[in-house]
Chains A and B, each alone.
Chain A
Amino acid sequence: MSSSVLVVVEIRNGAPVRASLEALGVGRRIAGPPGSGTVTAVLLGSGSESSSTTVAERGVDKVLSVADPRFDAFHAVVWAAAIAAIAREIDAGTILVAGTSNGRELVGRLAARWEAAAVNGVADLSLAADGTLMAVRPVFSGRALQEVRVDQTRAVLGLRPNAFTAPEPSGSKASVEAHPTPDLGQLPALGVVSGFEPAQTGSGPDLSEALVVVSGGRGLRGPENFRLLEDLAGALGGAIGASRAVTDSGWKPASFQVGQTGRTVSPQLYIAVGISGAIQHVVGMISSRTIVAINSDPNAPIFKVADYGVVGDLFQIVPALTAEIRRVRGS
Chain B
Amino acid sequence: MELLVLIKPVPDPETRLRPNAAGTNLDTDGVKWVLTGYDESAVEQALLLKEAIPGSKVRAIAFGPAPRTEEILRSALALGCDAATWVEQPADTPTDPMRAAAALTVACQKTPFDLILVGKQALDDEAGLVGPALAERLGIADYGPVVDVRWDAAGRRFTFARAVEGGSDRVSAPTPLVVCLQQAWNDPRTAKLQNVLKARRIAIDKVTWAEVAAGIGSAAPGTHVTAFRLPPPRTGAKMIEYRTPDEAAQKLVRLLREEAKVLP
A residues contacting B by CB (< 8 A) are: 12, 17, 73-77, 80, 100-102, 104-109, 111-113, 116-121, 134, 137-152, 155, 158, 186, 188-199, 201, 206, 208-209, 236, 260-261, 268-269, 289-293, 303-313, 316-317, 319-321, 323-325, 328-329
Contact = CB atoms under 8 A, between A and B. Distances in A.
Contacts of B250: 324
Interface string B13-54: 100010100000010000000000100000000000000000
Which label, helix, strand, loop or mixed, suits the secondary structure of the A interface?
mixed
Given A139-B124, A195-B170, A320-B249, A108 B222 contact: no
B129 interface: yes
Contacts of A316: 245
Interface of B: 11, 13, 17, 19, 26, 37, 96-98, 101, 120-121, 123-137, 139-145, 159, 161-174, 176-177, 180, 183-184, 220-231, 234, 236-240, 242, 244-246, 248-250, 252-253, 255-257, 260, 262-264
Contacts of B239: 303, 308-311
Given A269-B262, A308-B256, A325-B253, A261 B184 contact: yes
Contacts of B98: 108, 111-112, 117-118
Contact of A309 (B120, B166, B172, B238): B238
A292 B163 contact: no
Contacts of B227: 145-147
B111 to A, nearest CB: 19
Contact of A119 (B167, B223, B240): B223
Given A105-B142, A328-B253, A148 B128 contact: no
Given A101-B145, A140-B17, A324-B249, A118 B129 contact: yes
Interface of B is mostly: mixed
A109 B142 contact: yes
B164 A102 contact: yes
B249 A323 contact: yes
Given A76-B142, A194-B171, A201 B131 contact: no
Contact of A308 (B96, B101, B225, B237): B237
Given A101-B163, A194-B172, 10 more contacts: A101-B165, A105-B145, A108-B130, A120-B127, A121-B126, A139-B124, A140-B124, A142-B231, A149-B226, A188-B140
12 contacts: A80-B136, A102-B164, A107-B128, A109-B142, A143-B231, A144-B17, A150-B223, A191-B171, A292-B252, A293-B237, A312-B248, A320-B246
Contacts of A305: 234, 237
Given A112-B133, A145-B228, A317-B245, A118 B253 contact: no
B72 to A, nearest CB: 18
Contacts of A208: 165
B222 to A, nearest CB: 3
B133 A118 contact: yes
Contacts of A328: 253, 257, 263
A109 B132 contact: yes
A292 to B, nearest CB: 7
A312 B242 CA distance: 10
B231 to A, nearest CB: 6
B141 A191 contact: yes
Q: Nearest 10 pairs between A and B by C-beta?
A: A117-B222, A191-B173, A309-B237, A108-B129, A147-B227, A112-B136, A109-B132, A108-B132, A108-B133, A306-B237
Contacts of A105: 120, 128, 132, 142-145, 180
B225 A100 contact: no
Contact of B236 (A17, A104, A304): A304
Contact of B170 (A194, A206, A323): A194
Contacts of B229: 144-145, 147
Contacts of B257: 328
Contacts of B26: 144
Nearest to B137: A112
A308 B180 CA distance: 38
Contacts of B96: 117
B220 A151 contact: yes
Given A196-B167, A197-B167, A309-B238, A155 B135 contact: no
A113 B136 contact: yes
Contacts of B228: 139, 144-147
A236 B221 CA distance: 44
A188 B257 CA distance: 52
Contacts of B174: 189, 191
